[in-house]
Amino acid sequence: MRIPTPVWLVTLIGLAAASWWLANRGGGEPAVELATRLPQPGYYLKDALLTQTDETGRQTLRAHAGTASQRAERGPIDLEQLEIHYYPAAGQDWLMTSDAGSLPPEGKTVLLQGDVRLRAAAAAAATGAVVRSEHLLLDIDRQIATTADPVRIQFPPHEIHARGLRADLKHETLRLESAVNGTFTR
């Protein structure tokens, strides 16, 4: 039995149309093409240790974070449960802790946020002064830490409150910006 040519032609056209419809029914673009245009994720780490050295190879920063994540390639690194040891010069060790932080891609600053504490690591004993604030910006190249937030400096049994701080970590000087109020007891 022979199929008439017009029926055969209509069947072929119908199959071609059905194939085209099935291939394009999502109306979207091919997945490979779409994936190359979407921002690619960075990474997610638990119990992360980040280190930075200067041009001579001397370690200038060691940051330990409970988690470190980068949402987009070449984006900032978000840090949680942060502990930073900053070494502006040989023999100096500043300890900074916070609930969270952010490290920009160029690695020149670190923003600490949430229950921030700053102290000389050697002064970890009860007599050492502790600077507390909600935010602190560490400028690694300039070797300073700053905030415009309220600041509390505790060195038991004394305490000073102020708004704003500029700490030159290499030269170990601290300047309170305004609204300074302190309590000294004997």
DSSP H or E segment with residue 132: strand 130-139
Do 128 and 149 belong together in one domain? Answer: yes
Domain that holds residue 125: 41-183
State the CATH number of the domain containing residue 159: 2.60.450.10
> Could you say which DSSP state residue 140 is in?
T
Q: Are strands 77-86 and 94-103 parallel, antiparallel or unpaired?
A: antiparallel
What is the tally of structural domains in the chain?
Answer: 2
Structure tokens at 15: 């199959």
In this prediction, residue 168 carries a pLDDT of: 92
In this prediction, residue 137 carries a pLDDT of: 95
Please tell me whether the peptide bond between 76 and the residue prior to it is cis, using omega within 30 degrees of 0: no
Kindly report the pTM of this predicted structure.
0.73
Do 108 and 148 belong together in one domain? Answer: yes
Beta bridge partners of 182: 160
CA distance 165 to 175: 6
Do 27 and 85 belong together in one domain? Answer: no
Do 9 and 61 belong together in one domain? Answer: no
- 6 vs 64: which has the higher pLDDT: 64
CA distance 36 to 46: 27
Do 63 and 20 belong together in one domain? Answer: no
CA distance 105 to 129: 32
Do 104 and 19 belong together in one domain? Answer: no
Q: What is the pLDDT of residues 84-117, one digit of tens each?
A: 999 988 888 999 999 999 988 887 899 999 999 9
Residue 175 phi/psi, 5-degree rounding, is -125, 125
Do 57 and 31 belong together in one domain? Answer: no
Do 92 and 157 belong together in one domain? Answer: yes
Do 93 and 163 belong together in one domain? Answer: yes
Give the mean pLDDT of 4-27. Answer: 65
Do 18 and 76 belong together in one domain? Answer: no
Task: Identify the band that residue 2 occupies on the pLDDT scale cut at 50, 70 and 90.
Answer: low
H helices of the chain, where? 5-24, 31-37
Task: Identify the band that residue 31 occupies on the pLDDT scale cut at 50, 70 and 90.
Answer: low
Do 59 and 148 belong together in one domain? Answer: yes
State the sign of the Cα–Cα–Cα–Cα dihedral 28, 31, 36, 41: positive
Do 28 and 113 belong together in one domain? Answer: no
State the sign of the Cα–Cα–Cα–Cα dihedral 155, 168, 56, 109: positive
